[in-house]
A = this chain, B = another copy of it.
Amino acid sequence: MQEFSIIEQYFTNQTQPRRDVLVGVGDDCAITQIPENHVLATTTDTLVSGIHFLPETNPADIAHKALAVNLSDLAAMGATPAWVSLALTLPDANEDWLSEFADSFARLCEYYSINLIGGDTTRGPLSITITAQGFVPPDSVIKRSGARPGDAIFVTGTLGDAGAGLGLLKETLTEENVALDSLAASYLLLRHNTPTPRVLAGTTLRRKVSSCIDISDGLIGDIQHIMKASQCGANINVGALPISNELLSFVSPEYAIELALSAGDDYELLFTVPQDQIEEVKTAMHSVSIPITQIGQMTGDGELHLKQNNQAYITQASAYQHEIPLHG
């Protein structure tokens, strides 16, 4: 099958067209219109089979995850998602695989009212590169660099679930558990395979927070990105980390903390809030029903301190690097 026909056959006309897409798939470029008084947000992420997902992952989950991780980057800047481009490299043009991939991709596009505006399909080892574009008022951009000593550190949702889901897939967690709770297992697998980008959280936090990042590398890795960009330190209270009941039904509280700190791929937002904005942030996030938890505070000393019951917490964990093959 030829590259133009794959995109046209499987990926176009699946979603409600946006009025700001003046030229969509099928010309040399897409032409789109940014709303007045907004700036453009652009992010690119590649997922490679065997590195970012297990080779046996079903095509619907691969499509969901590839798109979700890009939308998560837009969310972390406070941007509203609008348009995506898809570069799909496939070992062969299997029609069932393509249909499942495209249907899942379209469902997530439809949910967020975004449009696929371009793409390229090539033959080769399976990998997916997505470029997602969105827009944001210039005074509402949330950077990594705005945190200040004294700001409270928050996260959305719960941490460690995606890491546990990967553990279940790789069967590194099952031996410890006598009774597998199937509902909890399903939840953890969903959290790994089909992460939910925090799009609404991102736009809700605009102009209320001092910095934000999405948790892809793990809390320890990602808080250090904020620390470096903001030239701050951070104290994290590991006892305060939000852990789901589903995760606690599978692993010890101690191992849950390790997963929360370092397993990555949760795609929750990690953000810092000036003290005088904390109540406003809590009210705003409550009004959109997104749970948030304060887990620490930024400091002036440039270092990361993990604490539990006011004592130093010792971890073997380090930031999850996507260069390293999937770990268990």
Contact = CB atoms under 8 A, between A and B. Distances in A.
Contact of A41 (B30, B52, B127, B131): B30
A110 interface: no
B29 A85 contact: no
A247 to B, nearest CB: 25
Given A40-B34, A46-B120, A120-B46, A29 B129 contact: no
A322 interface: yes
Interface stretch (A70-78, A169-177, A287-295): A70-78
A138 B23 CA distance: 11
A203 interface: no
A39 B44 contact: no
A253 to B, nearest CB: 30
Interface string A18-44: 000011001111111110000111111
A234 interface: no
Contacts of A23: 77, 141, 143
Given A26-B229, A27-B144, A122-B322, A40 B33 contact: yes
A323 B141 contact: no
Contacts of A45: 87, 120
Q: How large is the interface on A (under 10, 10 to 19, 20 to 34, 35 or more residues)?
A: 35 or more
A42 B30 contact: yes
B30 A83 contact: no
Most interface-central of A1, A23, A31, A213 (chain B CB within 10 A): A31
Contact of A29 (B4, B27, B46, B77): B77
A204 interface: no
A181 B273 CA distance: 68
A45 B119 CA distance: 7
A214 interface: yes
A136 interface: yes
Contacts of A77: 23, 27-29, 31
Contact of A32 (B1, B39, B89, B120): B39
Interface in A106-141: 117-120, 122-125, 127, 129, 131, 133-134, 136, 138, 141
B87 A51 contact: no
A199 to B, nearest CB: 13
Contacts of A74: 28-29
A229 B27 CA distance: 9
A123 to B, nearest CB: 5
A87 B132 CA distance: 13
A122 B87 CA distance: 15
21 contacts: A1-B323, A2-B321, A22-B39, A23-B141, A29-B77, A31-B40, A31-B136, A32-B40, A33-B40, A42-B117, A42-B118, A42-B133, A45-B87, A46-B122, A46-B129, A48-B122, A48-B123, A52-B122, A85-B131, A87-B129, A122-B322
Given A26-B144, A28-B43, 9 more contacts: A27-B143, A28-B212, A29-B42, A32-B42, A40-B133, A44-B86, A44-B87, A46-B122, A122-B127
